A and B are shown apart, each in its own frame.
Chain A
Amino acid sequence: MTEKKWPETWQDTNPGLMIFKPGSSRSYLTGGWRAQKPIWDNTKCIKCGVCYLFCPEACITEDAEGFFMADLNYCKGCGICYHECWPRAIKMIED
């Protein structure tokens, strides 16, 4: 199936501008917004998952070993993960 070109012609628009691609917002990379980014110190990380839980962008994921990291395509650098990290395993550095 051919992908519709953007910007769409009127004939190509979905009726009623309905969107049939759930989660398609991922095509918009909000990572360009940030002024700082989080860095994990895995020697301090206790793998609790609080950073993952509190990320408004849902961009923090767990790796195979149970450590966490932010998907820099989407991270807006808000600093919530850094602020909520109990053992202070996260640092915000300029980006």
Chain B
Amino acid sequence: MSERIGMEIALAAAEAVALCRPDVIAAYPITPNTHIPEHLAEIVADGHLDCEYIAVESEHSALSACTGASAAGARVFTATSSQGLLYMYEIVPVVPSMRLPVIMCLGNRAISGPINIWNDHSDYMCVRDLGWISMFASNGQETVDMCIQAFKIGEHADVMLPVLVNLDGFQLTHVVEAMIMPNQEEVDKFLPPRKPFAALHPDNIVSMGTLGLPDIYNEAKKANDEALINSKKVILEIWKEWEKMFGRKYEPIMSYKANDADVIMLTMGSMGETAQVAIDELRKEGFKAGLLDLKLYRPFPADELKKAVKGCKNLIVIDRAVMSGGAAAPVCAEVKSVLYDEPDRPVITNDIIGLGGRDVRVEDFIKIFKKAAKAKPERAYEIYGVRG
């Protein structure tokens, strides 16, 4: 039977990953996700997990080692944040291009500079276009669930892609929450051992990571893009299976009182829960606010988004990263792109909040809701709360 536990979310993520019986873990510490690889190392050291733990000398080597291990047919995991992700950046697009499943936990942290170890989504936004299936957890339970789901999704025979599970650095990684942790038997039932499409082994000789000349590169890119787009089908199936087994439902976009809302806010990650408190407060005053929590970011759930905002007059997209000098902040730019051709599309406001770990409070969201309801936005995007 699953167990109800109280634990720091990063440690719970490690426990969840350990339940998935990874074969190889290669990770390099970086605040704030360090507790994930550390706890996994403890689990291995105490003999609770039969796994090769490579204490690599850099994040670049971490992802490289994971790629090699995945190519050899192993189930692999790594975790990083911010600068660590940027250091392994060269390898990030190579992994999906080779159709190798690698599961990564990203403890979202601001990228330098200035150097800042606290939470925002700017690290993820650097890699969103590189071909990884990407999910955002809003709380500890979702973190645990998504870590386990990620292995099944990435290794699925019709997917064969790496999966990134985002959890807010410090806001989630270092927070203690009550969660329901599945037990080993349940996870083994949900997640069978990996059956690789191809593996490096002399009994079946393969060359991987070959040269793609101009005459074939376009086709290779198309094939990979289609693979990512089509993975949504498998993700939805696996989420249905999860709901059946564990009773917890997952959808690409989850609504909180958005059905009858006049003003809807779209968020990703833990700030959605703060927004929910703000919505409850506003509803008490008669202000019909609602929330759309984006859980699946890649492949982007365009159809679900269009459906969710039908009839809405006012949409606020909350970003937690800047797209410097761009047309809008990252999530908003995509939302606008998706809704461009929709008849009766809502007025869209874009606020960037909580950069570099600045606290996101209930009253901030209340202010943003009320401001959006009053007037059309003056600028394409605003960094909320900047002094001056």
Contact = CB atoms under 8 A, between A and B. Distances in A.
A18 B218 CA distance: 15
A8 B219 contact: yes
A27 interface: no
A16 B219 contact: no
Tier of interface size on chain B = 20 to 34
24 contacts: A7-B215, A7-B219, A8-B216, A10-B218, A10-B220, A10-B222, A10-B223, A10-B226, A11-B223, A13-B220, A13-B223, A15-B99, A15-B160, A15-B197, A15-B223, A16-B100, A16-B160, A17-B216, A18-B98, A18-B99, A18-B210, A19-B206, A20-B204, A20-B206
A18 B198 contact: yes
Contacts of A13: 216, 219-220, 223
Nearest to B97: A16
Contacts of B207: 18-19, 22
B208 interface: yes
Lowest 3 CB-CB distances: which A-B pairs, in order? A16-B99, A10-B219, A10-B222
Contacts of A9: 219
Interface in B230-276: none
Given A8-B219, A16-B97, A19-B206, 19 more contacts: A7-B215, A10-B218, A10-B223, A10-B226, A13-B216, A13-B219, A15-B99, A15-B198, A16-B99, A16-B160, A16-B209, A17-B212, A17-B220, A18-B98, A18-B207, A18-B208, A19-B210, A20-B204, A20-B205
Interface of A: 7-11, 13, 15-20, 22
B98 A16 contact: yes
A7 to B, nearest CB: 5
Contacts, number: 52
Contacts of B216: 7-8, 13, 17
Contacts of B206: 18-20
Contacts of A17: 97-98, 210, 212, 216, 220
Nearest to B205: A22
Contacts of A8: 216, 219
Contacts of A7: 215-216, 219
Contacts of B226: 10
A9 B220 CA distance: 9
Contacts of B197: 15
Contact of A20 (B198, B209, B219, B223): B198
A22 to B, nearest CB: 4
Interface string B85-125: 00000000000011110000000000000000000000000
A16 B98 CA distance: 4
Interface string B188-225: 00000000011000001111111010011011101100
Contacts of B97: 16-17
Contacts of A19: 206-207, 210
A18 B210 CA distance: 7
Contacts of B220: 10, 13, 17
